[in-house]
Amino acid sequence: MADPSFDVVSKIDRQEADNALNQAAKELSQRFDFRGTNASIDWSGELGVVIKADTEERASAALEVFKEKLIKRSISLKSLEAGEPKSSGKQHVITSSLKQGIESDVAKKIAKEIRDNGPKGVQAQIQGDQLRVSGKKRDDLQAVIALLKAGDFGVALQFDNYR
């Protein structure tokens, strides 16, 4: 039998993100403080989000509404990469995107953390945009999960395929 292992991934549930965006759009259309500001929020591309409003303050407030909805839907704000409000004609636009996958330099940092501070006999292999962590004992893998949850690597981490 193979050694116990699990995958460290960074992905978002697209349906939950879509629900959060739709809830934010509905709130923007109904809230009193957004009346007459032409505030809107829409998808642009696969995981891009465009927020538009007449003033910079309303655009930033619309971004905060979207962040609240993401939190309620259990999507980490570490996966949201929001830009600064830019003036585009009469409107202010905030372009942001939702990040998925672990970049190679972050994956190397995570693997180094496991090597340096994790239990002996645990290996981490980088496989594309995820990490496979394997070891002889399940208790060691639990310790690695606790270690990674305690650390801050700048990305939202999930643990899949624990076997």
Give per-residue pLDDT as tens, 90-140.
899 999 999 999 999 999 999 999 999 989 999 999 998 999 999 999 999
At 45, the pLDDT band (50, 70, 90 cuts) reads: confident
Q: Is the pLDDT of residue 2 over 80?
A: no
Domain with CATH 3.30.70.860 in the chain: 5-11+102-160
Q: Is the pLDDT of residue 40 over 90?
A: yes
Look at the block and give the residue holding tokens 């259309």.
29
Residue 33 is given by DSSP the state G
Exposed, middle or buried, 74 (CB in 10 Å: 0-12/13-18/19+)? exposed
What CATH code would you report for 14-98?
A: 3.30.70.990
Domain with CATH 3.30.70.990 in the chain: 14-98
Would you state the pLDDT for residue 88?
A: 85
Q: Is the pLDDT of residue 7 over 60?
A: yes
Listed in order, strand segments (DSSP E) in the chain are: 5-9, 40-44, 48-53, 80-82, 86-88, 91-98, 123-127, 130-134, 158-160
Name the average pLDDT for the chain: 92
At 3, the pLDDT band (50, 70, 90 cuts) reads: confident
pTM recorded for the entire structure: 0.86
What CATH code would you report for 5-11+102-160?
A: 3.30.70.860
Sign of the torsion formed by the C-alpha atoms of 16, 18, 23 and 24? positive
Would you state the pLDDT for residue 1?
A: 57
Q: Are 125 and 116 in contact (CB under 8 A)?
A: no
